[in-house]
Amino acid sequence: MIRVVLVDDHELFRAGVRGELGDRVEIVGEAGSVAEAVPLIHDLDPDVVLLDVHLPDGGGEAVIAAVSQERPGVKFLALSVSDAAEDVIGVIRAGARGYVTKTISSEELTDAVARVSEGDAVFSPRLAGFVLDAFRAGDPVGPDAELETLTPREREVLQLIARGYRYKEIAARLHLSIKTVEAHVSSVLRKLQLSSRHELTRWAHERRLI
Amino acid sequence: MTQIPALPFERSESDRVVAGVCAGIARELRVDPTLVRLVLALLTLAGGAGILLYFALWVWTGGRHPVYAVLILGLATMTLLGALGVPWTIFIGAGLMVAGLVLLARRGASLRPGGGSLGIPGIALAVAGAVVLLDHIGSSNAFVGPGALAGALALVLGPWVWQLAKERNERIRLAERAEIAARIHDSVLQTLALVQRHAADEQRVRGLARRQERELRRWLYGSGYGDAQTFEDALADAAADVEEAHGTRIELASAGNAPLDEPLTQLVLAAREAMANAAKHSTADEIAVYAEARPDSVSVFVRDRGVGFDRSAIGDDRRGISESIEARMKRAGGSATVASSPGQGTEVELTMPRGAA
């Protein structure tokens, strides 16, 4: 059983997720705000935290920042209806291992939780689109060039995720193993989190202005 | 004190640059507001008299202590006279003294403490006036007069300037709030009413909810309500239409955006046809749509995990793919690829070069 804490300020949504998640997942605690979530996660030390990007007293980023030091084993999966790319990228850069939209089916959500608990990354098509946009081709410069750009293979994998392909389908299409596909996605996540790419900031800024 | 009559005009609520004073006067005099603004601007060149006059009229029409308005009017007159060559220090000194004393007189000719806030500006004005006069007569210190004058002005005008700014901010806030209220009324409340009326029709309710969600998103994060101006918004509109018509969920992802021109409009129409095809024939409950805008071209991928089909086995009655998708893309300078096989779902790939004619 994967032990999960659910952090979302909408009681209705929490109730829905509680009823939908399969028997591989056990919800051990729920919180509706940053202030509630931080001590709860600290005490329960769950495997995965399902984290709303927007909370009344701060973003999901605040929860991650407050507990990741002392509870490094806890994995975060961001869950949102928000379309604002900079918020999503923000919570990923804070340390979440994936992002899914709240319209996801319960079966896919269970899969995503399991994947994140094993240390893999979970990208929804929407997040894949955001990342491709943020890492637009061209101008890799500086000493961290490896972190600044996506490899053609990573780009290809992300594009297929954005087009709605599952890992298994991507593996078959690109003649790779599923493990390799997962490794590519994890690598993209690492770049997203570690890159100091000024493009990311500029891009988020542009998005906000549009 | 005699009651000061109300001014024969009111500030304009709709036409205003600062607080609507000029437009109000213009309306009463039946002239162009720009003319009034011009006159005030010219007066401003005369030592700032225009600004003071504006303040006075604003204070007066605002229903505040008219005596302040009279004071500022006096100051404006003096400034104007000063600009015309009359030794201004005399006017200002005397004016300030008179004004200060008038203020004090209004408080019952009393200097007792606790006489209210009016007492302090009154005293300050009178003292400043005296200093200015003495300074002019004695011509001893070049700094005392102007310093006292500036101090008195700051004391009296400061709160008004602050209040003027506050009032303006308040107006802007109210206008924003009215706009949000109007949006919510036009969209969210209407949708909720529709949802209540069609509660039994699950497909319809689902479509309504998704459409409303898209609209709100576009308003919050995109280019606003109304006709789509960008490719991304137009595609989202098309997806919402198909969802509403067929009840199939469409997940939309995109990277990059572009202004909506004619070739891209054709691309959106072809993509819409591909989505409608998938919704009608695939039996899948979800369609994934991904749009990528690159500097040289824009691509849309429409994918479903439905029944798929064998192209050669399709009858002529289903002209959607060849006519509405492939021929349309070709006419507009783009291309379309359809990949499908029975049981494997379908993916339509549409590509339009940027700047295609």
Contact (CB<8Å) B254/A129 = yes
Rounded to whole angstroms, what are the CA distances from B144 to B85, B89, B147? 22, 12, 5
Contact (CB<8Å) B253/A128 = yes
| Of A180-184, B49-53, B145-149, minimum mean pLDDT range | B145-149
Which residues of B are less than 8 Å from A133 in CB distance?
Answer: 254-256
B-interface mutation test, from A12, A54, A82, A83, most B Cβ less than 10 A away? A83
Residues in chain A: 210
In the block, tokens 């007792």 appear at B112
Which residues of A are less than 8 Å from B308 in CB distance?
Answer: none
- pLDDT category of residue A6 using cuts at 50, 70 and 90: very high
Question: Which has the closest alpha carbon to A126: B250, B17, B329?
Answer: B250
Q: Is the pLDDT of residue A3 over 90?
A: yes
Contact (CB<8Å) A81/B213 = yes
Q: Is the pLDDT of residue B173 over 80?
A: yes
* Portion 97-156 of B in contact with A at CB < 8 A: none
Residues B11 and B61: their CA atoms lie apart, in Å, by: 7
Contact (CB<8Å) B253/A129 = yes
Residues A167 and A160: their CA atoms lie apart, in Å, by: 9
Which residues of B are less than 8 Å from A164 in CB distance?
Answer: 251, 253, 288-290, 301, 303
Residues B147 and B153: their CA atoms lie apart, in Å, by: 10
Mind spelling out the 3-state secondary structure of chain A? CEEEEEECCCHHHHHHHHHHCCCCEEEEEEECCHHHHHHHHHHHCCCEEEEECEECCEEHHHHHHHHCCCCCCCEEEEEECCCCHHHHHHHHHHCCCEEEECCCCHHHHHHHHHHHHCCCCEECHHHHHHHHHHCCCCCCCCCCHHHHCCCHHHHHHHHHHHCCCCHHHHHHHHCCCHHHHHHHHHHHHHHHHHCCCHHHHHHHHHHHHC
Chain B nearest-CA residue for A104: B251
Residue B71's CB is within 10 A of a number of other CB atoms, namely 26
Chain B nearest-CA residue for A82: B217
Distance from CA of B217 to the nearest CA of A (A): 7
Which residues of B are less than 8 Å from A128 in CB distance?
Answer: 253
* Backbone φ, ψ for residue B188 (5° rounding): -65, -50
What DSSP element (H or E) covers B347?
strand B346-353
Convert the pLDDT of each residue in A111-143 to its tens digit: 899 999 998 899 989 889 988 888 875 555 555
Q: Is the dihedral of CA B171, B172, B173, B176 positive or negative?
A: positive
Contact (CB<8Å) A126/B251 = yes
- B38 reaches A (C-beta below 8 A): no
What is residue B293's predicted lDDT score, i.e. its pLDDT? Answer: 92
Average pLDDT of chain A is: 84
Q: Going by C-beta distance under 8 Å and a sequence separation of 6 or more, which residues neighbour residue B249?
A: A103, B206, B210, B243, B285, B286, B287
If you write DSSP's letter for every residue of B131-147 in order, what string do you get? HHHHHHHH---TTHHHH
Residues A185 and A158: their CA atoms lie apart, in Å, by: 7
- pLDDT category of residue B55 using cuts at 50, 70 and 90: confident
Q: And the tokens for A21?
A: 């998640």
* Portion 49-88 of A in contact with B at CB < 8 A: 81, 83-84
Rounded to whole angstroms, what are the CA distances from B280 to B93, B198, B284, B286? 87, 22, 9, 12
Chain A nearest-CA residue for B294: A136
Residues B269 and B280: their CA atoms lie apart, in Å, by: 16
What is residue B42's predicted lDDT score, i.e. its pLDDT? Answer: 75
Sheet containing B335-340: give its strands across: B249-255, B286-293, B297-304, B346-353, B335-340
- B306 reaches A (C-beta below 8 A): no
Distance from CA of A130 to the nearest CA of B (A): 6
- Percent of all residues in chain B with a pLDDT value above 70, rounded to a whole number: 69
Question: Which DSSP category does B4 fall into?
Answer: P
Contact (CB<8Å) A83/B256 = no
What is residue B108's predicted lDDT score, i.e. its pLDDT? Answer: 47
Q: Is the pLDDT of residue A200 over 50?
A: yes
Contact (CB<8Å) B255/A129 = yes
Convert the pLDDT of each residue in B96-120 to its tens digit: 777 777 766 665 444 444 444 556 6
Residue B230's CB is within 10 A of a number of other CB atoms, namely 18
CA atoms within 13 A on the CB side of B203: 9
Rg, Å, chain A Cα set: 17
| Of A143-147, A175-179, B18-22, B328-332, minimum mean pLDDT range | A143-147
What is residue A171's predicted lDDT score, i.e. its pLDDT? Answer: 95
Residues B301 and A135: their CA atoms lie apart, in Å, by: 20
Per residue in B135-165, is it b (16+ CB within 10 Å) or e — as a string?
bbeeeeeeeebeebbeebbeebbeebeeebe
Contact (CB<8Å) B290/A163 = yes
What DSSP element (H or E) covers B353?
strand B346-353
* Backbone φ, ψ for residue B13 (5° rounding): -85, -25
Chain A nearest-CA residue for B252: A126
Identify whether the C-beta of residue A47 lies closer than 8 Å to the C-beta of residue A29.
no
What DSSP element (H or E) covers B281?
helix B262-281
Contact (CB<8Å) A126/B252 = yes
What is residue A209's predicted lDDT score, i.e. its pLDDT? Answer: 46
Q: And the tokens for B297?
A: 């071209």
| Of A5-19, B192-206, B316-330, minimum mean pLDDT range | B316-330
Mean pLDDT along residues A184-195: 87
Average pLDDT of chain B is: 76
Mean pLDDT along residues B70-83: 70
Greatest alpha-carbon span in chain A:
49
Which residues of B are less than 8 Å from A132 in CB distance?
Answer: 255, 292
- pLDDT category of residue A149 using cuts at 50, 70 and 90: confident
Q: And the tokens for B253?
A: 């992802």
Q: Going by C-beta distance under 8 Å and a sequence separation of 6 or more, which residues neighbour residue B38?
A: none
Which residues of A are less than 8 Å from B347 in CB distance?
Answer: 163
What is residue A150's predicted lDDT score, i.e. its pLDDT? Answer: 86
| Of B2-16, B118-132, B210-224, B255-269, minimum mean pLDDT range | B2-16
Q: Is the pLDDT of residue B237 over 60?
A: yes
If you write DSSP's letter for every residue of B6-58 in order, what string do you get? PPS----SSS-SSSSHHHHHHHHHTS-HHHHHHHHHHHHHTTTHHHHHHHHHH
- A4 reaches B (C-beta below 8 A): no
What is residue B348's predicted lDDT score, i.e. its pLDDT? Answer: 93
Mean pLDDT along residues B323-333: 87
Q: Is the pLDDT of residue B224 over 60?
A: no
